[in-house]
Structure 1
Amino acid sequence: MKNIGQTLRELRELKGLLLREVGAALSIDPTLLSKIERNDRMPTKEQVIALSEFYQDKKNEVIIAWLSDKLVYEIQDEDLALAAMKVAEQKIEYLKTHKAQ
């Protein structure tokens, strides 16, 4: 399972780009991008949006990796984390179906 850092590094390397090239294109410090790719720092929502737009063909992959990392980081040490995630999934489905009506 890949985290956001691994996902971003793989996408960058597949395109044959350097950190400084991605940083220059997005106005993000390459040092910060390096920390994100090494999982020393979690990207902000704004950074994730910019990165997902940059890697347009893998946009959903970037966003899903980020969201899943946020969830795991927040509840990983909880005994009932998996049960809570299942309930959260049901709540999201419920809200989606009732919001559309």
Structure 2
Amino acid sequence: MVNNIDYEHTWVWKPDWEIRSDIKGELFWSPFVDKDDINVTVINGVATLAGSVSTYSERQSAEDNAYEGGAKDVLNNLSVTYKNYGPYYYNGAYGPHSYVR
């Protein structure tokens, strides 16, 4: 299967305060992101995400939310901390993909 979908992110100018507000709204309503540990700043349309999230997928979802909120570009400075999810937990002694049952 070949994917011939061409996606180009087009940016429509908005003031920084409005972009920040829209990004915070996207993060608030996202079922994939815990917004409490994410700080958002916007300068000249470029959003910077700082703080921590639980997983790499949550980190990517937060970046996607920033683009959906109107950012021209996103600097994703979110750090990933693993939390205990069910029967598996992160064991950093064996590398970033080490999970113990």
Q: What TM-score results when the alignment is normalised by the length of structure 1?
A: 0.29
Task: Name whichever structure is richer in helix by fraction.
Answer: 1
User: Relative to total residues, which structure has the larger strand share, 1 or 2?
Assistant: 2
